[in-house]
Amino acid sequence: MSDAGDDFIRCKGLTKVYRRGDTEIVPLRALDLAIPRGAFVSLMGPSGSGKTTLLNLLAGIDHATSGELWIDGQNLARLSRDGLAAWRAKSVGIIFQSYNLVPVLTAYENVELPLLLHDFSRRERHERTMAALETVALADRASHFPRQLSGGQEQRVAIARAIVANPPLLLADEPTGDLDRASADMVLDLIDRLHREHGRTVVMVTHDPLASSRARLQLHLDKGTLVEALAGGAKHA
């Protein structure tokens, strides 16, 4: 039985401690947080506030030192390293600031990569990969390599890769940080559409107030604790 209630994400006393020699670093300190299913949330705060640490915990990339973290009824603290990897493959799509595309693979092959972790036939992989590329309006660039794409197109390929396995949770770490304003707006429009039309729960770390304004809930962290939560969501066509 889940203790997470009706929330899609629930953090209860979530704490992360790193030790460097005799120094103790606490990027997250007894964080309590609840995020409903289908929400679009932005995380803001100064460097060292715990944003990236929280994102890594939500992604199952790292384990909390103490506290509980429930996502979609699953207590991540109870999963082994292999269990976390299996959970992450089916539950989370991650968008990075630097795209993290494999330069020697085409857009199609980059998007297909996560599907190789699943038991899909070659035909199923092809259908899912092309559907994801069509979602980001890049089906006509399927055979292009990253070097042949603009920064905005690379990020859209990265988004296609993040959604190709149809995960319920989409995490974005500064997804517009390396883009010009026009490309950034296009990427934000796409993320917003994935949230509104496809029901994805989106958690986005950003330093950009314009990007943050797209979220329906804006969370501000400082020194590992939640200091402010604002209802937001600018209206965009």
pLDDT computed for residue 1 by the predictor:
35
Comparing CA positions, the residue from 38, 50, 29 lying closest to residue 7 is 38
pLDDT computed for residue 232 by the predictor:
63
Q: Say what the alpha-carbon torsion angle 137, 139, 171, 5 is, to the nearest 10 degrees.
A: 90
Q: One-letter amino acid identity for 60?
A: G
pLDDT computed for residue 236 by the predictor:
39
Q: What does the alpha-carbon distance between residue 16 and residue 24 come to, in Å, rounded to a whole number?
A: 10
pLDDT computed for residue 5 by the predictor:
52
pLDDT computed for residue 92 by the predictor:
95
pLDDT computed for residue 135 by the predictor:
95
pLDDT computed for residue 228 by the predictor:
77
Question: Using CA of residue 53, residue 54, residue 55, residue 56, what is the dihedral sign?
Answer: positive
Length, in residues, of the chain: 237
Contact criterion met (CB below 8 Å) for 187 and 194: no
Q: How far is CA 157 from CA 58, 116, 191, in A?
A: 22, 17, 12
pLDDT tens, position by position, 50-63: 999 999 999 999 88
How many CA atoms are closer than 13 Å to the CA of 25, on its beta-carbon side? Answer: 9
* Domains and their CATH numbers in the chain: 36-64+81-231 (3.40.50.300)
Ranges of the chain with pLDDT below 50: 1-2, 4, 234-237
